Amino acid sequence: MEADESLKQQFKLLQEQQQQKLLRRKQMKEEKENLSNNSVEKKTFGVDDNLDLKLERSTGVGYLSEELVEHLNNEIRELKDENGRCYKLLSEREFEIKQLKKKKNEEKNALSGMQVTNETAGTKIVELSKKVRELTAELESEKTRSKQINKKCHDLQMQMSSVPDDTSRSSLGSAVSQRSVYYTDNDKEQLEVDIKALQDKLKHTENKVAEFRNQSTQYKQELKLAHKALSQEVGENVNIQILLSGQSNWRGRAQQILLLQKKVEELKNQVDTTPKKLRDLDEDDLENEFMGRTSSKKRNQDEKYKEELKKYEKEKKEAYEKMANEFKALENDHSTVKSKFEAAKARNKVLSNENKSIKQQMTTLLEKGKNDDELIQALMKQQAQLKDMLDQTTSQQRQNNLNQVDKLKEMAVKSQQESNIVEQLKCIISERELMVHRLEEEINQLKIQHLQKLQSENQYLEKPVLGRSISRQTTDPMVLKSVSPPSSRHGERPPSGRIDSGRNSSRTSLVRPQSSSNNTVQNQQVAELEYQCQEYKILLQTSEVERERLTELLQILQKRVDENIVKLNESQNELINQRRNNALLEKQVAKYKVEQAKQNKGNTTGRKKGPVNQGLSRLTNDTSYNEEDHIESLDELQTCLEIQKDENEALKSALQSTLNAKQEDLRIYSQTMDETKKVFLQALRQFKQSAGT
């Protein structure tokens, strides 16, 4: 349990360190972006033209492919972190295995010297069993983790295979195009060095695994031999647990053999001493009997023999007691040896279980090594494919850049043409206003002349003045021949979406910092790579905000384009109708001029032939006719003036609508800029807070 807690703490520390590194990289990225933005604003007087507008048709698979690539890159990064953690855990486990080996060697030495007691052996067995359980639990947890990681890898491979070829190529191309700027030769060399280091580690672990296998086989053989020796010494029907407890008086065979050998030697000595004494006694008795000696010496000898027999019996009793005590001591020794044997038996079982678990670990490690080799091969293949895709995407990008430059030139020409059209419309409006002022002045003059004519009906000398007024009436309608511009032109304006779409290339050039200048130090390359990952995340957030705003802008611009197209069609129809009306009016004016010329000729002939009275009567008729003509011409002029006023008002409304549209565009652009600034400021604040903590 303590080992699990320590591992959890280590994982937490690693995660916190990684988060701190990511936050630092975000801060560095934001500082670089702020510096670049400040430099751009100084150049453009604080106005950012790089709005990165795009048409809806162009957006499609590319954006989805970039998201997919970013998601897969994040998962690959997580798997790399997990692999690093697993390598650390393997190193820790190897250290623990070394410690366990040392303990095993110490215990072997203790058993060989027979210096370990039963109590210490039992406690050690319990401790080892606990450690074995903990290690098995940790091994199972690591197995589950490895299975989960393998499942994730398999799922990712399935996802990559399920993605169609076009989308996968576009996604990989976009990802490689984004990262090709940041990966330099130094980064590639460092990746190769990391791969070689990982391969060396795998070889080292495989060698260690082979050593562990050999050691486990040796331990097994030693345990088998010890088990056989113990079974021969103790016997098959003896309980080793009772011997380990120390309650039985069992003695080993070696102790029993020593005791029996001592007894045999003592008995041999006794047998050697008794026949000598008996021979001496027999010889003395025979001499006495033969000589007929029956004295007190015989009695003394009998007493001596009796005393010697008593002494002999006492010695036998003492020897028997000694033997009994020795036998008891041997039994006690036998019981202790039996308990030790049972402890050794139990320990052999534990060691056999440990060897089995170590074998399983070795098999899992070998399988893991094979899987890692396969992964490395797959990654190398992917790297080669990505290089090919990178070459293809670079060529495609060059072609796209050339096409975009051509489109920008065309859009610039169109914008110039439209600005020229607007200037022409303004000139036409000014001319029409001047015409309106002239016509108003002429109408006032005609009214004054008409009043003068009514006052001087009887004066014949004022006819030239009437002729002049009539000539003015005939000539002034010719001014109406100037064709008025169509009302559709008033609402036309160049769509800002098309003009601003050429700014995508400049924006991408600003977003991508040059990585060649930042990768000078080899020790900071890994940190810079992680920093670039955080840059991608922040750019993703800002690009999403800009994309939402720009989609709204595109919708608004498309609506305006549709409205302008409808207005253009209507204005073209109105222009056709007005041209027809102008043609009819011109025909009527020509007829009117011809009739006036005929009438003037008739009036001059009448003056020559007729008397003065006839001239006066004709004059009255002519004046009445001319008055009616003047009234009709005045009505026509008033209608023309009203038409011109309507056209002027339409032009003014069109100009106002264009101004309003431009104001709306500027407002939307300012909103997008404010939102992007807010996003960057929030990221900066988060970085500052994390750096302060």
How many Å apart are CA 339 and CA 344, to the nearest integer? 9
Q: Tell me what pLDDT residue 435 has.
A: 75
What pLDDT is attached to residue 496?
38
Three-class SS state of 350: helix
Low-confidence ranges of the chain (pLDDT < 50): 1, 43-64, 114-117, 164-183, 286, 289-295, 460-519, 606-620, 625
Taking 3-state DSSP, the helix, strand and coil percentages for the chain, each rounded to the nearest 5, stand at: 90, 0, 10
Name residue 634's amino acid: L
pLDDT for 63: 44
pLDDT at 472: 41
pLDDT confidence of residue 311: 82
Domain ranges across the chain: 253-335, 410-508+526-692
* pTM confidence score: 0.21
CB atoms within 10 A of CB 630: 19
SS3 string, 193-235, reads HHHHHHHHHHHHHHHHHHHHHHHHHHHHHHHHHHHHHHHHHHC
Q: What is the pLDDT of residues 372-392, one digit of tens each?
A: 888 888 888 888 888 888 888
Phi, psi of 559 (to 5 degrees): -60, -45
Residues with Cβ within 8 Å of 143's Cβ and at least 6 positions away in sequence, in order, are 364
CA nearest neighbour of 494 among 606, 658, 620, 607 = 658
Q: What is the dihedral of CA 545, 547, 552, 557, to 10 degrees?
A: 140
